[in-house]
Homo-oligomer: A and B are copies of this chain.
């Protein structure tokens, strides 16, 4: 199952973090935007080409020290089908460089429709007998509100193509408790969803003790992260909310197991906009991103046991 590949990349880089590529145009340095606008005008195409160049430069600088990227679909859809083409090209580029790619789409639907999403993002699309990869990510974030009918089609693709999913369990935002913290009997909604994840993953175990069904648990709720780590021993965590949203390294450490594994922490703006924070020359944006990836890695692993497969 797919998280084995991710886990191996984490051990190899000794880095349990992922860079979120959520590139609003305002994050892209002016010199790139100007070049594309000159060529394509003030269009969605120009924006999409600028974002692709930005992403590629960052991937070039981080692929050897960071195991994965997490492009957020929303920021590509915002630039229309040209933006979605940039999403595709970003995924392909990162994979060519050996990175593990998690598309953050939080997709959800049922039956044949969920199968279409699973095919789109993790599988192969049939066109008159030709099998073609439409987006080709290694993992996809999904929303489990619809129950097993929304998850089963994904599990088939995970098995067939060595992929994984991350189901929203406890999200990092302030109002996540409105539904997720409510009690179903003695158990919260998020704990109930977490338990469903363990069940969905049961027959899809990888060789390092984690199934192909992961969970999203926010860095902004360290107590719940600790609670879920204990309750869901076979569920790999994607932990958003570090940095810009307020989650700290000491808190996110609670999402890890005794081998320093079991979780991967995301940072998006912190890395993409490192050059703005550093106030360095904007041409230096990708190197600034690399510096931030290293800083973040050191910060996180300082609270963890040595990352190892034993």
Query: Which A residues are within 8 Å of any B CB, using their own CB?
Result: 22, 24-25, 33, 37, 42-44, 46-47, 72, 74-75, 77-81, 83-85, 87-88, 106-114, 116-117, 119-121, 125-130, 132, 134-135, 143-150, 168, 171-180, 182-185, 189, 192-193, 196
| Of the residues B44, B114, B175, contact of A127 by C-beta under 8 Å | B44
| Of the residues B126, B135, B180, contact of A147 by C-beta under 8 Å | B180
How far is it, in angstroms, between the C-alpha of A112 and the C-alpha of B22 when the chains are bound?
10
Apart from A80-B125, A81-B88, A184-B189, 8 more pairs, CB < 8 Å: A33-B128, A42-B129, A43-B127, A72-B116, A77-B116, A78-B125, A110-B176, A184-B184
Q: How many copies does the complex hold?
A: 2
A116 contacts B24, C-beta separation under 8 Å: yes
A179 contacts B116, C-beta separation under 8 Å: no
Q: Give the chain B neighbours of A109 by CB distance below 8 A.
A: 72, 74, 106
B149 contacts A108, C-beta separation under 8 Å: no
Nearest B residue (CB) for A146: B171
A116 contacts B78, C-beta separation under 8 Å: yes
Highest count of chain B CB atoms <10 Å: which of A43, A106, A175, A182: A106
How far is it, in angstroms, between the C-alpha of A185 and the C-alpha of B47 when the chains are bound?
49
| Of the residues B111, B120, B168, contact of A173 by C-beta under 8 Å | B111
Q: Give the chain B neighbours of A130 by CB distance below 8 A.
A: 42-43
A and B contact pairs by CB, cutoff 8 A, 29 listed: A22-B113, A42-B127, A43-B130, A44-B125, A47-B125, A72-B113, A74-B107, A74-B113, A74-B120, A75-B113, A78-B119, A78-B134, A79-B125, A79-B127, A83-B134, A106-B107, A106-B108, A106-B109, A145-B145, A145-B171, A145-B180, A146-B175, A146-B176, A146-B180, A147-B177, A147-B178, A150-B175, A179-B189, A183-B184
| Closest 4 pairs between A and B when the two form their complex, measured CB to CB | A147-B175, A147-B178, A74-B116, A77-B120
